Amino acid sequence: MAFQDRELACRDCGGGFVFTAGEQEFYQSKGLTNDPVRCPSCRATRKMMRPEDREETPHYGVAVSWGGRTPRQLHVAHCFQCGQATEVPFVPRGDRPVYCSNCYNDVRSKQEAQAAAEAEAMASRLSHRAEGPALEGSAEERERVALPDL
């Protein structure tokens, strides 16, 4: 798919700026479907003021770190759900239940679904407050949300 340079108006300073073909390709590779709303200098200013607006901030850190578990020493524990002895990669403590691999898969899929929903809700709250480039939703929705600021 070929991209072409496009002229956009900055929401903050009202100045025109070019959304280059290369930037459009970059946005698409990041899965960002919205156009940038600020010129590069206003974006740079916001990045200095609001580090959480940086578009490289991971919004799904919880899920990502779960996927990156590394093997560690195993400890014997009893499954919270079925009572069977099992080995876990952390020191079992009373403050969190331990599961055998069968029950764990069952529980984990539920927990991951819940964590993903929470991360999504948080990302959605953050992006609505920050109105940063990671904002989800249509351009129409974005403009409607932004109207009170104008």
**Cβ distance to Zn ion smaller for residue 77 or 100:** 100
Which amino acid does the sequence have at 123?
Answer: A
Cα separation, 9 vs 24, whole angstroms? 15
With contact defined as beta carbons under 8 Å apart, do 53 and 132 qualify?
Answer: yes
Shortest Cβ distance from residue 27 to Zn ion (Å)?
18
Q: Which two tokens stand for residue 58?
A: 């991971």
Shortest Cβ distance from residue 122 to Zn ion (Å)?
28
**Cβ distance to Zn ion smaller for residue 44 or 122:** 44
Shortest Cβ distance from residue 85 to Zn ion (Å)?
10
**Cβ distance to Zn ion smaller for residue 7 or 31:** 7
Applying CB under 5 A, the residues found at the interface with Zn ion are 10, 12-13, 39, 42, 79, 81-82, 100, 103
Q: Which positions ≥6 away from 82 have C-beta within 8 Å? A: 100, 102, 103
**Cβ distance to Zn ion smaller for residue 12 or 136:** 12
Residue 5: Cβ-neighbour burial (10 angstroms; 0-12, 13-18, 19+): exposed
Shortest Cβ distance from residue 102 to Zn ion (Å)?
5
